A and B are shown apart, each in its own frame.
Chain A
Amino acid sequence: MLKLDKLVKTYNTGDQALKSVVLEIPQGQVLALIGPSGAGKSTLIRCINRLVEPTSGTVHLDGVELTRLGSGALRRDRRRMGMIFQEYALVERLTVMENVLSGRLGYVGFWRSFLRKFPQSDVDNAYRLLDRVGLLHMADKRADELSGGQRQRVGICRALIQDPALLLVDEPTASLDPKTSRQIMRLIVELCSERGLAAIINIHDVALAKMFVQRVVGLESGAIVFDGAPDDLTPDMLTHIYGEEDWEATIEKVTDAEEEAAQ
């Protein structure tokens, strides 16, 4: 469904963030993108919805070449890619409901959105999503009144209300505590399987990634160095991706007791 071909991004400073990345993701697959800070994970997912313009190479989504679209067509295709951010990236002075509804901006005209007169179906959907993530009672609170985990759930609602085919998730748990991190990851993965969404999840917590995804891709200095099942991540492989470190504790299976404690 999503196909990246020889994707290259060189920043103006001369830093080569991506070196000819080739990657294909089928419908409904949740993929974790791991790698050290600065490996190009954020750049990779931002090149897909072109918040960052790739230098060369192509990105296809369901047969549409995203890298060639003009600004109007790009906007239409961005609707099909929901994005979830590190540090949540909610607009803090807007209410929770406005933040969620902003996911519909690609579908409604300027005046409707300006006057906050969204179609009733959008409003209903927003309520349903907020209810699904347990935040319905917060709908009229301002976004900066929420806790970290709550904010990220609003971020998830904003991405899902776009009715996307693909989720781009950038370090969703980087600013959350371990328990909330697991809850958020579980929520994202559950929602993806409920709706048959594909997702790319940037994450540097390897253990957390292994708990929830079917496929792991390791990025190092802008190149893919690992692509396989979570169980194939050996200590040697992790050393290759991240550098020398004792990896035994990281790849240990999480026991049921621990899992329970996290709930």
Chain B
Amino acid sequence: MNGASVSELDTLIGTGWKKPPLIKRDWLRWGLVIGALIYLIAAINSVEVNWERVYAGLDRGAAFIAAFLQPDFESRAGDIWEGMLESIVMAITSTVVGIAISIPIGLGAARNIAPLPVYLVCRAIIAVSRALQEIIVAILLVAIFGFGPLAGFLTLSFATIGFLSKLLAEEIESMDKVQAEAVKATGSRWAQWVNYGVQPQFMPRLIGLSMYRLDINFRESAILGLVGAGGIGATLNTAFDRYEYDTAAAILLIIIVIVMGLEYLSGLIRARVQ
């Protein structure tokens, strides 16, 4: 056996080495590369740009940007304040409710701790939640519950479930098996096992994700207002409709400041819980 391996070694010495390609069949690999290139060129050619329209639009764009330099916080301060408050309330309540529902679904959607039927049901719930875009859900819920923040709150809660459960489940699936195994070996029941062996491993990630989702929900609430689901988006929409770009600019600036504030807060919290 030794003799054979030496002669194999001899043939290999000095021959150089290349990382094996991801796709082994040459024709398939090159076919994909060439196909992607052709598609890219065709796609660029298919974009029609009406340069006259762009030229006419430049003025409007300039007015929009100019407004940002002089944002008007005052003339509609009451509307802005009300809309902001509504958005913040929507974002916080939908995040809290979304997390509360996401945790059991996330546990159920982790293949390493849930039995197959539970796993399939939870994955199906996640798939449905992720497949339906927020705006579509919002339009549906506005049709059912009428205009206002209730529809927005429900939409965001629903979207949070898909997002948080999926990422939580993936975090659980990648956890350290031995720590959990050690807790199982003590004779603990399932809930105790999750509480002692699994939860400490996913907790920092859950907190980080929750903060991130709060931030997303706040930004989404500005969009949902456009379809009548309440929040600052409704105020923003009105401002655009009236060509009050200075008020719109003020709203957008406030949104940016709040999102940055949330980002900073989430950094602080994550540093503490790690």
Contacts and interface: CB of A to CB of B under 8 A. Distances in A.
A76 interface: yes
Which of B178, B185, B201, B204 gathers most chain A CB within 10 Å? Answer: B185
Interface stretch (A55-63, A92-100, A201-209, A246-254): A92-100
A162 B182 contact: no
A110 B196 contact: no
A112 to B, nearest CB: 9
A43 interface: no
A261 interface: no
Main SS at interface, chain B: helix
A51 interface: yes
B188 interface: yes
Contacts of B197: 91, 102
Contacts, number: 83
Interface residues of A, number: 32
Interface stretch (A12-20, A81-89, A216-224, A229-237): A81-89
A76 B187 CA distance: 6
B82 interface: no
A78 B186 contact: yes
A238 to B, nearest CB: 22
B195 interface: yes
Contact of B187 (A94, A98, A105): A105
A158 to B, nearest CB: 7
B200 A89 contact: no
Contacts of B201: 91, 93
A113 B186 contact: no
B196 A105 contact: yes
B179 A49 contact: no
Nearest to A108: B192
Nearest to B197: A91
Given A89-B179, A92-B179, A93-B203, A102 B196 contact: yes
B178 A85 contact: yes
A146 B89 CA distance: 43
A50 B200 CA distance: 24
17 contacts: A51-B181, A75-B189, A82-B185, A82-B186, A85-B178, A91-B196, A91-B200, A93-B201, A93-B203, A93-B204, A94-B200, A105-B188, A110-B191, A110-B192, A114-B191, A114-B195, A168-B185
Which 7 pairs show the lowest CB-CB distances between chains A and B?
A106-B187, A105-B188, A78-B187, A79-B187, A93-B200, A89-B182, A83-B185
Given A92-B200, A106-B189, 15 more contacts: A76-B187, A78-B185, A78-B187, A83-B185, A89-B179, A91-B197, A93-B203, A93-B204, A94-B196, A105-B186, A107-B187, A110-B195, A113-B188, A114-B195, A168-B185
